Copies of this chain bind each other. A is one copy, B any other.
Amino acid sequence: MLRGFVLALLWLYLRAMDEKIRTVSILGAGNVAMHLAAAFVENTVQVKQVYNRTLTKAQQIGEMYKIRYTDRISELEKADLYVITTSDDAIREMSMHIPFDDCLVVHTSGSVDMKMLQGDFRKGVLYPLQTFTKNRALEYDEIPFFVEAENAEDERLLVEFAQRISNRVRVMNSAERASMHLAAVWVCNFVNHMFYVGEQTAAKVDIPFDYLKPLIKETCDKIVDLSPREAQTGPARRQDFSVLQKHFEMIENSKEQELYKLISDSIIKNYQ
């Protein structure tokens, strides 16, 4: 009797351990979908379908990675995992159209709560921390994936799945994920805007952006070995107020002046 009970437990345990995500379908066909399809195929994840409202974009990914594609929800087949890659404000509606309950559905957004997913299926998040540009090669195994699920078992499944693609997988709730998305805005979106303002400043004296690229490259390269705090240089770091004042007066646009002052003050504060 006890022996039978132990065997039953063992069988249940082994069955649970055996469970894993085998088939994946991608919903949406933008840059995230394009790159995830590449990452999945590259790591021999079986991608069943790519769905997109406009067929041509789904077709593009489908033909590129030999994945079946459709623009009809009715043609959506059963898969273990559905990955919603649409824009933030389309996630909710997309999730409502998934015609299956016995499956796991995740979105890939940094700033959308898991609860935004609508349906009786199991819910989760798979957030890749990277900026995805069309037709740019990426090393997917280096991209951090932040994973969230409703229960421990799905969490285990998603972590295991993400680890097939990346070496940097972390479990993280929606609130923490929002913080990582904010951090990404600082080091990616805002950094790019600094590039833009620098480009405009150089253009005023007819110097093309190309002349700033070696400096940009070194600025980003040295951060691999040094912390941002160690790597900081410039008039604000030196508290060279005569240069700061001179620069401030050189800037014509008042909003840009305000920006220059605010960032400089923030740097000065860090080194007082």
Contacts and interface: CB of A to CB of B under 8 A. Distances in A.
Interface in A213-272: 213-220, 222-229, 231-238, 240, 243, 246-247, 250-251, 255-256, 258-260, 262-263, 265-267, 269-270
A226 B198 CA distance: 15
A264 to B, nearest CB: 8
Given A182-B247, A243-B88, A143 B199 contact: no
A3 interface: no
A205 B179 contact: yes
A6 B89 CA distance: 81
Q: Which secondary structure characterizes the binding site on chain A?
A: helix
Interface in A187-218: 187-199, 201-202, 204-205, 207, 209, 211-218
A201 B88 CA distance: 22
A185 interface: yes
Nearest to A250: B182
A43 interface: no
For the complex formed by this chain, how many copies does it contain in all? 2
Contact of A265 (B181, B185, B255): B255
Contacts of A270: 196
A144 B205 CA distance: 14
Interface stretch (A15-23, A70-78, A134-142): A134-142
A170 interface: yes
A198 B179 contact: no
23 contacts: A111-B235, A111-B247, A131-B219, A131-B222, A133-B218, A133-B226, A170-B207, A172-B205, A179-B202, A180-B202, A185-B198, A186-B194, A186-B198, A188-B215, A189-B237, A193-B263, A195-B228, A196-B229, A196-B270, A209-B227, A255-B265, A255-B269, A262-B262
Interface of A: 87-89, 111, 129-131, 133, 136, 138-139, 142-144, 168, 170, 172, 176, 178-199, 201-202, 204-205, 207, 209, 211-220, 222-229, 231-238, 240, 243, 246-247, 250-251, 255-256, 258-260, 262-263, 265-267, 269-270
